[in-house]
A and B are shown apart, each in its own frame.
Chain A
Amino acid sequence: MVPRQMSTTLIKHGTLVPDAWVLVRSPDELENLEKRSGEDLILPLALWLTEQQSIASRQGQTAVWLNSNEIPESIAGYLDRLPLVALNFPEFKDGRPYSSARELRQRWRYQGEIRAVGDVLRDQLFFMKRCGFDAFLLREDQNLDAALSAFHDFQDAYQPGIIQPLPLFRRR
């Protein structure tokens, strides 16, 4: 996978915004962290864990992404320093990142951005948002304007969610 261009379009807080974070999908894409000085990078977990020292001293922001089989606990000690955590959907049918997002918000009280990356499609956005995702890097073929309407598919929900922490039965 070719790294994305310097600026890409993201859905964030319900609108389209340009975004400068660069998603480094695998360690092979990155010969040398120093060479990428000044860029805002989202690194794979393994790389991010081993490069802590150079991350601390480098120019530019650094964030991490977790694959669906990687658990939030592995970054729990660092969350106050992380401006964003990306959660990868290797395929849209893999439901684990939904639990990861809720764990980040509920158990670890993470307040920063949780970004959905990978096989991110219009028809799952409503679920993602309710689990605590607040930024969405959609798969490249997706129609972003059409995708914005997905957040309004339902007017309400039975369960508690990150946006509305009370279940319907406490409000009806």
Chain B
Amino acid sequence: MPRLKLISQTESKQKIMYRYDQYDHQMLADRIAQFRDQTRRFLEGQLSDAEFLPLRLQNGLYVQRLAPMLRVAIPYGMLSSAQMRKLAFIADQFDKGYGHLTTRQNIQFNWPALADVPDILAHLAEVEMHAIQTSGNCIRNTTTDQFAGVAVDEVEDARAYCEIIRQWSTFHPEFAFLPRKFKIAVCGTRKDQAATQVHDIGLYLLKNEHNEIGFRVLVGGGLGRTPVIGSEINAFLPQEHLLTYLDAILRVYNREGRRDNKYKARIKILVKETGVSDFRDKVEYEWMLLKDGPLTLTRVEVERCRAFFHDPQYKSLPSHSNDLEAALNTDVLFSAWYEQNISEHKKPGYAIVTVCVKKTGFAPGDLDSDQMRFIADLSERYSFGEMRITHTQNLVLADVEKSQLYDLWKDLKTKDLEADNLGLLSDMICCPGGDFCSLANAKSIPVAEAIQRRFSVSQLREIGQLSLNISGCMNACGHHHVGNIGILGVDKKGEEYFQISLGGSADHNTALGKIVGPSFSQEEVPDVIEKIVTVYQQHKASGESFLHTYNRLGMDPFKEALYGTKADEHHTD
């Protein structure tokens, strides 16, 4: 039996999330002992750098520009208050007091010491957390829409299926050394907020005419150097076949994915080179061997997992709150935040709150340990002790009573967490960039800040919903391809330049942005963004979004505003 303190088991009794049993705990305990031994052998010189590399990566440990970076898994983005407090403890004890939310709904610490990592993992295990397969050429953390379980008009709650996939993918013996990393997203909401179509496998939950649950299966989506939108290979996969079908896809990929060139190793290249139809045939051939075998999901297992994600004990509330109404009428700042950061909840009298971690002057997605503890407290006071990380690097309190929103907002203000720019141009997705990452061509954080400083609050509101995504290199961690405006750091003879693309989108109608033209220097970027926005504002019909306006106008007016007739004077890429 594991000798771990099972503190969370009592603490999380009431929690509406997956809870570990003795098997899950034992699996983590064994993993930590294994990695402790591997780290010891590495430090004693018994394991070479090359041999230790995939072992540490599969425990979330990178070696970065300045120090190791540890990426902790937050399965499908869900966190309890106890887990958040543990992250704060780790930030203080082993790091410089902060952490960075990632686009895979994970959190990373930028300054841990290699020798401390086994201890950090042991601390994480106490609250049923780990860093398993958060990097390396293996199946990564499965992500979903942050509104799973609370969204209006949800087809089905994706979290139970994410947990089923988490367990299937954890230490899968056949798929620990894939050609390249592998990312899966599951979406059960109508408005896809999980960027499902740009995943190696994207799964949309569906119900057929008999009300049976299944999945529409997309493969071969991805960003990176070659952005591709996933292709459908199965229009309705009944839920019991989920894992056998995933096994079949992964086996085809493991055998046939390219291993000769890192940049052609993702499944999207294999699907393209094979052709969607032939790829589907190969999957079917493998699947016939596995279908209806032991890996077929049982009703008991599906029900077991679904039961963890039951509704919390909602009160029966009127849908209208007089307290809320009064506050909205008297406090304009609160009202502005409410407009932007609140989403409709499936239960009357409740609201979904997104805490935007994009306040100007702070690195996008960074949380310090005080903020972490504070949000943990708030989640207990206002939202059943649970929170979610979004792939846009923000935080969600999913179950807040409408009558308490004003109190919550006043609390958030005390820790600089009241940013009311959710979904606006300044709510950017931004990778850590050249300040931290050894792959980056350019520093993305200063560019993000310069853009944030360029626009006033009222300007941002006037512009409205607009996604701006920044990546420091073509690995596209900042999802620049699917931003309405995308910014990509490129290297030109040792200097940092930025390439701008327009028209990207990551929702149900995913689209890849098109490059507008030659790249710009760092100083030029805020002007460039302002010019793009001006074109939009000049041409938009009343209430028309940026994306819609761009799709109607095409690239030309934007090009003209940016380059005019002087396009030739710019460097070309």
User: Which residues of A line the B interface, CB within 8 A?
Assistant: 71, 92-96, 98-100, 102, 106-107, 121, 123-124, 126-128, 130-131, 153-161, 165-170, 172
Contact B173 A157 (CB under 8 A): yes
B55 within 8 A of partner (CB): yes
Contact B177 A168 (CB under 8 A): no
Task: Give complex CA distance A94, B304 in Å.
Answer: 36
B339 within 8 A of partner (CB): no
B178 within 8 A of partner (CB): yes
Query: A93: which B residues are within 8 A, CB to CB?
Result: 54, 137, 177
Query: A170: which B residues are within 8 A, CB to CB?
Result: 294, 298, 301
Query: B33: which A residues are within 8 A, CB to CB?
Result: 153
Q: Select A166's contact among B27, B179, B251, B294, beta carbons within 8 Å.
A: B294
B343 within 8 A of partner (CB): no
Closest Cβ of chain A: how far from B452's Cβ, in Å? 41
Task: Give complex CA distance A100, B251 in Å.
Answer: 10
B170 within 8 A of partner (CB): yes
B168 within 8 A of partner (CB): yes
Contact A121 B51 (CB under 8 A): yes
Q: Select A154's contact among B21, B27, B178, B294, beta carbons within 8 Å.
A: B27
B289 within 8 A of partner (CB): yes
Closest residue of B by beta carbon distance from A71: B255
Given A94-B177, A95-B176, answer yes or no on A157-B171 (Cβ-Cβ < 8 Å). Answer: yes
Give B301-320 interface residues, CB cut-off 8 Å to A. Answer: 301, 304
B172 within 8 A of partner (CB): yes
B341 within 8 A of partner (CB): no
Contact A167 B173 (CB under 8 A): no
Contact B54 A107 (CB under 8 A): no
Query: A172: which B residues are within 8 A, CB to CB?
Result: 21, 23
30 residue pairs of the A-B complex, CB under 8 angstroms, read A71-B255, A95-B176, A96-B255, A98-B173, A99-B174, A102-B251, A107-B289, A123-B55, A124-B176, A124-B177, A126-B173, A130-B173, A153-B30, A153-B34, A155-B26, A155-B30, A156-B23, A157-B27, A157-B171, A157-B173, A158-B27, A158-B171, A159-B168, A161-B173, A165-B294, A167-B294, A167-B295, A168-B167, A169-B164, A169-B167
Task: Give complex CA distance A128, B21 in Å.
Answer: 26
Query: B54: which A residues are within 8 A, CB to CB?
Result: 93
Closest Cβ of chain B: how far from A97's Cβ, in Å? 9
Main secondary structure of the interface of A (DSSP, over half): loop
Instruction: Give me 13 other A-B pairs in contact (C-beta within 8 A), A95-B177, A130-B173 excluded.
Output: A92-B177, A93-B54, A93-B137, A96-B255, A98-B176, A99-B254, A99-B255, A123-B51, A154-B30, A154-B31, A157-B171, A161-B173, A166-B294
Closest Cβ of chain A: how far from B306's Cβ, in Å? 13
Task: Give complex CA distance A95, B171 in Å.
Answer: 13
Task: Give complex CA distance A46, B301 in Å.
Answer: 46
Closest residue of A by beta carbon distance from B171: A157
B259 within 8 A of partner (CB): yes
Contact B294 A96 (CB under 8 A): no
Query: A157: which B residues are within 8 A, CB to CB?
Result: 27, 171, 173
Query: A106: which B residues are within 8 A, CB to CB?
Result: 289-290
Contact B173 A131 (CB under 8 A): yes
B360 within 8 A of partner (CB): no
Query: A95: which B residues are within 8 A, CB to CB?
Result: 137, 174-179, 254
B522 within 8 A of partner (CB): no
Q: Select B176's contact among A96, A121, A127, A158, beta carbons within 8 Å.
A: A127
Query: A168: which B residues are within 8 A, CB to CB?
Result: 23, 167
B545 within 8 A of partner (CB): no
Task: Give complex CA distance A160, B295 in Å.
Answer: 7
Query: B26: which A residues are within 8 A, CB to CB?
Result: 155-156
B537 within 8 A of partner (CB): no
Query: A98: which B residues are within 8 A, CB to CB?
Result: 173-177, 254
B38 within 8 A of partner (CB): yes
Contact B289 A123 (CB under 8 A): no
Task: Give complex CA distance A128, B176 in Å.
Answer: 10
Closest Cβ of chain B: how far from A147's Cβ, in Å? 12
Contact B51 A169 (CB under 8 A): no
Task: Give complex CA distance A94, B177 in Å.
Answer: 6
Contact B38 A123 (CB under 8 A): yes
Query: A153: which B residues are within 8 A, CB to CB?
Result: 30, 33-34
B29-46 near A? 1/0 per residue, CB < 8 Å: 011011000100000000
Give B1-51 interface residues, CB cut-off 8 Å to A. Answer: 21, 23, 26-27, 30-31, 33-34, 38, 47, 51
